[in-house]
Amino acid sequence: MNRRVLLLTGLSAALAGCSATAAPPTASPRAVRAASAPQIPPLAIGAFRLGPDLPAGSDRAVGLRAFRLLPPNKTSFAAYLGETLAEQLRLAGKLDPNARLTVSADLIENSANPKVGQATGALAATFRVTENGAVKMEKTLRVEANWNSSFIGAVAIDAAEREYVALYSQLVEKLLEDPEFRSAVAR
């Protein structure tokens, strides 16, 4: 009976073209550990926006089959990336709005494709570290994921949301562990 209810609920959601909001950023132990490194000073978070080559509004929702995933606070997924970095820095005691160094980024790739069988997702951003308006580092980083995607929509959508949202923490981890980033922010 429970399986049938789940299938009917998933089918109803797919037919209705439902949407849901992604969960707010949470702690990534790996990112917090990386942000806690002694060579990373307190950092400010600057503008996180949609890159110039992506269509306007393309970071306002991500399609997961007939389901739309919205960013928290109905802002943008570019802002969600900034919020994810800010959360890791806050947990490491390294978030300071008055810091001498500011990290900002342009979201240049934002995709999830939960097709039946093998699903994919990718996220890329061009990050900048600035000090008093001078760019100390500009670098593009990218992460991707592949996962098995069920024929059953509700199961596939749940997996796609989990895998897609995880890309944000993975991209922040990659930034915080990047040698060029660490060199640019070194005290």
Q: What would the mean pLDDT of 101-116 be, rounded to a whole number?
A: 83
Q: What is the mean pLDDT of the chain?
A: 81
The C-alpha angle with vertex 123 and arms to 16 and 34, in degrees rounded to 5, equals 125
Question: Residue 43's domain is classified under what CATH number?
Answer: 3.40.50.10610
Which pLDDT belongs to residue 77?
Answer: 83
Residue 151 confidence (pLDDT) above 50: no
Question: Each residue of 5-25: pLDDT tens digit?
Answer: 444 344 444 434 586 677 788
Across the range 178-186, mean pLDDT stands at: 96
Dump pLDDT digits (tens) for 31-60. Answer: 999 999 999 999 999 999 989 887 777 676
Percent share of the chain, pLDDT over 90: 49
Are the C-beta atoms of residues 157 and 67 closer than 8 Å to each other?
yes
Which structural domain, as residue segments, surrounds residue 120?
Answer: 2-185
Across 81-101, average pLDDT: 97
Position 63 pLDDT exceeds 60: no
Q: Measured between alpha carbons, how far is 106 from 134 in angstroms, rounded to an integer?
A: 17
| Structural domain count of the chain | 1
pLDDT recorded at residue 173: 97
* pLDDT the model gives residue 83: 96
pLDDT at 68 over 70: no
137 pLDDT higher than 60: yes
